[in-house]
């Protein structure tokens, strides 16, 4: 076995070429990680929104809260189910909510659908992660709303103390809330009845959230809801709902990131091949000497493949490093199921970074394999003579 | 001179091909990105910018009273008004090939507002006569293998209703083929299934004169200013673009990806060119001894790189244009691309120019090194 030091040294011996190849592969990794960080950010935001012990109830057939809707009496029937938990004061942990969409103008003059959630007290009990970071909570019946922390910087009308027309009614922003990195930070929250009046949709809920008394009651609760044919409702654990939202919304970026990266990797493969061919061709004499010293063909092949691996790892590491500053970069896209805007920060998750490094390594190895094979196949005499 | 460039390129065929290949892939990707961006942001309106879309001002999830249609039709310069609702729903399964737009509309007015649809008169009559009938675009009908009289079921999601529809007509839209991927069924069928709520999602208005657009928009919005549902009226182009805007800053995303591709490929090409030039240090010295001037040596090295860039660029554009057809269904299934990717001479020229530029820049550094070389040093290196 030829020591790995030999390979690392020889990469350094042709510094300029190695650096250029490493950089070109690193850019492939950068594109891959960058685009997938969009998907990663969406995933992180949605994952932080679901609680496995909370069951979300929608109209049968609806894929999202925007599409769903049922009369408000239904909530009473649901709250009476024995599997629904109560808090310390004996209040039922159930929350009927509405989700309206309204077009609002972004800072740059473009427009997007913003989610406006009508809630009751229960909504806060079910989501302990909601935390007012500025101002205070809204008072029902007074035309007040609170806005998610992602909104004020994107929508000029939605800053603290700002006024905004929702449906037919002017509302005042009295607070800003965080939601533990979750998707709620892209929503406006207000009293369910105030908003029902504003949007002329009184006495209805888009969805209901119920806290199961325990983890083991979750499936019993879902069965109880879905088996009642009169209700025509469907129920699912909250994380499952958000998983669907992620899949629908992140798919564009996952396809885009993978597609681009694979095609770019082909191009970079050629670069790696060129570099490794050059490495082989200037070292014919060395290879011949190594063979003459008794190193086997296999060792030569392994040595050059290893060299390509080092090249790939360097490139992958550099690409991942270049992509790190993207973390936290705030952006927004459409939630493909609710049709509203979700704002999130880019996330280069360890999985994505690892994928990038693997991509770079595969690129370098696939590119480096043909030169490595040709190096190992040559006869000792040819190698020594030609040099 | 050209012969020398040619010989040099052919000396290491493998390297030349690999480099051309990587330039071609880069230009292929750039062309594709540009074409997709264009398909997303430059919306075709076969009526020549004289069609408007009216919707509820709050957002698309709110609807309009049925009675608005007639009042909109009474505005001067409005030639036709048709209701249009996005039914969405699910056909068979969630696979992308089974995702296509399903609209409900009024068979009496749909073709007046969409004059680009070509439907045989007897098929239109058959559709009008069958409340559960539908018409499909020719490319959709072909892709699904539907024939007149076939019955299909579409499961509702936004609307809690399943549709049982019979194909009564197949229309063509020669001026905007992407519209042939949709189906239209009778709005009254949906109304009845929903217990006649008397509401409509969108009204599409065709004007007799594109010049009239601003005043019709103003008049239509003013007409319902004090009504329960206020209107937002905009051109078809603005309406479609609002969907792309929702996806986020697509231009920025595509722009940065494009830049990364160009930089990456520039490095690759420059690297290869430098390698090629380095191997020939002694040759350059010999050429210089033979009386070639510095300028000629520089030109030679640069020409070599430019040739690689040019061939790679042309190849990339060609490949991209071949790939358009294959990519179209996937793009439309994404829900953000509404029209066909099309070859574009200007874009192709720009892409080839990028290839050329990459070659030029990549060739400059090694050319500069070759020119700077002292003849004695070059010759000495041989040993």
CA distance B84 to B104: 6
Is residue B229 helix, strand or coil?
A: coil
Please indicate whether, in this complex, the C-beta atoms of B260 and A27 are within 8 angstroms of each other.
Answer: yes
pLDDT in tens, A130-167: 999 999 999 999 999 999 999 999 999 999 999 999 99
Name the residue facing A270 among B19, B245, B335 (closest C-beta): B19
pLDDT, residue B335, reads 65
Q: Enumerate the residues of chain A whose CB falls inside 8 A of the CB of residue B334.
A: 251-252, 255
pLDDT, residue B142, reads 94
pLDDT, residue B121, reads 96
Name the residue facing B247 among A34, A264, A334 (closest C-beta): A334
Q: Is the ipTM of this complex over 0.90?
A: no
Please indicate whether, in this complex, the C-beta atoms of B248 and A110 are within 8 angstroms of each other.
Answer: no
Q: Is the pLDDT of residue A278 over 90?
A: no
Query: What's the gap between Cα A276 and its chain centre?
Result: 36
Strand partners of residue A103:
A113
Please indicate whether, in this complex, the C-beta atoms of B157 and A62 are within 8 angstroms of each other.
Answer: yes
Residue A343: which residues within 8 A CB-CB, separation 6 or more?
A148, A150, A151, A154, A185, A186, A330, A331, A332
Q: Is the pLDDT of residue A14 over 80?
A: no
Decide if B158 contacts A339 (C-beta within 8 A): no
pLDDT, residue A54, reads 95
Q: How far A210 CA sits from the closest chain B CA (Å)?
A: 23
pLDDT in tens, A202-223: 888 999 999 999 999 999 999 9
CA distance A246 to A255: 14
Tokens coding B42: 């430059």
pLDDT in tens, A109-131: 888 999 999 999 999 999 999 99
Q: How far A46 CA sits from the closest chain B CA (Å)?
A: 17
Is residue A292 helix, strand or coil?
A: helix
CA distance B156 to A167: 27
pLDDT, residue A197, reads 94
pLDDT, residue A176, reads 97
Q: Give which of B13, B16, B21, B59 to mutate to test A binding, by max A Cβ within 10 Å.
A: B59
Residue reference for tokens 């240090």: B281
pLDDT, residue A387, reads 47
pLDDT, residue B338, reads 67
Tokens coding B206: 């065709």
pTM assigned to the model: 0.86
Dihedral, CA atoms, A48, A53, A57, A62, nearest 10 degrees?
A: 50
Q: Could you tell me how many CB contacts below 8 A there are between chain A and chain B? A: 143
Helices marked H in B248-293: 250-279, 281-289
Dihedral, CA atoms, A12, A17, A21, A27, nearest 10 degrees?
A: 100
Please indicate whether, in this complex, the C-beta atoms of A21 and B268 are within 8 angstroms of each other.
Answer: yes
Average pLDDT value for chain A: 90
CA distance A147 to A135: 10
Please indicate whether, in this complex, the C-beta atoms of A17 and B15 are within 8 angstroms of each other.
Answer: no
pLDDT, residue A87, reads 86
Q: How far B230 CA sits from the closest chain A CA (Å)?
A: 10
Mean pLDDT in each 10-residue stretch from start to end of chain B (383 residues)? 80 85 90 88 80 94 93 96 93 85 95 95 97 95 95 92 95 87 94 91 94 95 93 92 82 89 85 78 82 84 89 93 82 70 86 90 83 78 50
pLDDT, residue B383, reads 40
Please indicate whether, in this complex, the C-beta atoms of B257 and A35 are within 8 angstroms of each other.
Answer: yes
pLDDT, residue A353, reads 95
CA angle A280, A283, A284 (to 5 degrees): 85
Please indicate whether, in this complex, the C-beta atoms of A270 and B18 are within 8 angstroms of each other.
Answer: yes
């Amino acid at each position: 076995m030829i020591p790995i030091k030999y390979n690392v040294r020889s990469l350094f011996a042709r510094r300029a070429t190695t650096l250029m190849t490493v950089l070109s592969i690193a850019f492939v990794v950068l594109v891959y990680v960058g685009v997938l960080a969009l998907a990663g950010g969406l995933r992180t935001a949605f994952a932080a929104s679901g609680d496995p012990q909370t069951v979300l109830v929608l109209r049968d057939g609806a894929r999202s809260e925007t599409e769903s809707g049922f009369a408000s009496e239904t909530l009473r029937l649901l709250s009476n189910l024995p599997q629904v938990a109560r808090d310390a004061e004996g209040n039922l942990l159930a929350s009927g909510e509405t989700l309206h969409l309204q077009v609002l103008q972004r800072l740059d003059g473009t427009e997007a659908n913003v989610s406006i959630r009508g809630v009751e007290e229960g909504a806060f009990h079910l989501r302990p992660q909601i935390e007012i970071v500025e101002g205070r909570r809204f008072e029902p019946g007074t035309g007040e709303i609170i806005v998610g922390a992602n909104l004020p910087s994107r929508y000029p009308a939605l800053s603290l103390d700002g006024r905004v027309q929702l449906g037919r009614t002017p509302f005042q922003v009295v607070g800003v809330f965080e939601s533990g990195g979750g998707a709620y930070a892209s929503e406006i929250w207000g009293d369910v009845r105030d908003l029902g009046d504003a949007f002329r949709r009184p006495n209805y809920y888009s969805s209901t959230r119920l806290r199961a008394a325990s983890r083991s009651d979750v499936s019993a609760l879902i069965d109880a809801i879905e088996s009642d044919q009169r209700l025509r409702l469907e129920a699912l654990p909250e994380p499952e709902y958000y998983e669907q939202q992620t899949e629908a919304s992140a798919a564009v970026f996952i396809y885009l990131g993978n597609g681009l990266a694979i095609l770019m990797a082909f191009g970079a493969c050629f670069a790696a091949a060129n570099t490794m061919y050059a490495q082989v061709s200037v070292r014919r004499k060395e290879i011949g000497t190594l063979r003459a010293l008794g190193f086997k063909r296999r060792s030569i092949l392994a040595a050059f493949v290893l060299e390509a691996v080092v090249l790939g790892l360097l490139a992958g590491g550099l690409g991942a490093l270049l992509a790190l500053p993207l973390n936290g970069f705030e952006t927004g896209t459409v939630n493909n199921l609710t049709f509203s805007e979700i704002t999130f920060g880019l996330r280069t998750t360890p999985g994505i970074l690892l994928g990038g490094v693997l991509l770079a390594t595969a690129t370098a190895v696939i590119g480096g394999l043909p030169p490595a094979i040709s190096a190992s196949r040559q006869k000792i005499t040819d190698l020594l003579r030609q040099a | 001179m050209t012969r020398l460039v040619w010989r040099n390129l052919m000396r290491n065929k493998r390297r030349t091909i690999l480099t051309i290949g990587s330039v071609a892939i880069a230009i292929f990707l750039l062309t594709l990105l540009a074409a997709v961006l264009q398909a997303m942001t430059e919306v075709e309106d076969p009526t020549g910018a004289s069609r408007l879309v009216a919707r509820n001002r709050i957002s698309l999830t709110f609807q309009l009273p049925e009675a608005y249609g007639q009042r909109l039709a009474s505005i001067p310069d409005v030639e036709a008004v048709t209701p249009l609702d996005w039914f969405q729903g699910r056909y068979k399964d969630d696979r992308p090939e089974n995702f296509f737009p399903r609209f409900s509309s009024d068979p009496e007015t749909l073709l007046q507002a969409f004059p680009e649809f070509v439907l045989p008169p007897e098929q239109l009559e058959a559709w009008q006569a069958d409340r559960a009938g539908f018409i499909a675009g020719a490319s959709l009908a072909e892709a699904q293998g539907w024939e007149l009289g076939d019955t299909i079921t579409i499961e509702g999601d936004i609307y809690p209703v399943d549709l049982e529809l019979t194909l009564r007509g197949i229309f063509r839209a020669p001026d905007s083929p992407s519209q042939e991927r949709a189906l239209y069924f009778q709005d009254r069928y949906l109304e009845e299934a929903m217990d006649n709520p008397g509401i409509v999602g969108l009204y599409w208005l065709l004007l007799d004169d594109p010049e009239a657009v601003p005043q019709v928009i103003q008049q239509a919005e003013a007409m319902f200013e004090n009504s329960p549902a206020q209107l937002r009226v905009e051109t078809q182009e603005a309406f479609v673009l609002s969907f792309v805007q929702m996806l986020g800053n697509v231009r920025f995303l595509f722009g940065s990806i494009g830049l990364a591709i160009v930089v990456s490929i520039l490095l690759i090409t420059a690297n290869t060119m430098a390698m090629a030039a380095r191997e020939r240090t002694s040759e350059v010295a010999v050429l210089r001894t033979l009386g070639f001037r510095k300028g000629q040596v520089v030109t030679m090295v640069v020409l070599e790189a430019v040739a690689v860039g040019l061939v790679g660029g042309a190849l990339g554009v060609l490949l991209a244009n071949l790939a358009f057809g294959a990519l179209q269904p996937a793009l439309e299934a994404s829900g953000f691309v509404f029209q066909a990717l099309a070859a574009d001479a200007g874009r192709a020229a720009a892409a080839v120019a990028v290839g050329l530029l990459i070659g030029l820049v990549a060739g400059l550094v090694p050319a500069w090194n070759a020119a700077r070389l002292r003849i004695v040093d070059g010759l000495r290196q041989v040993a």
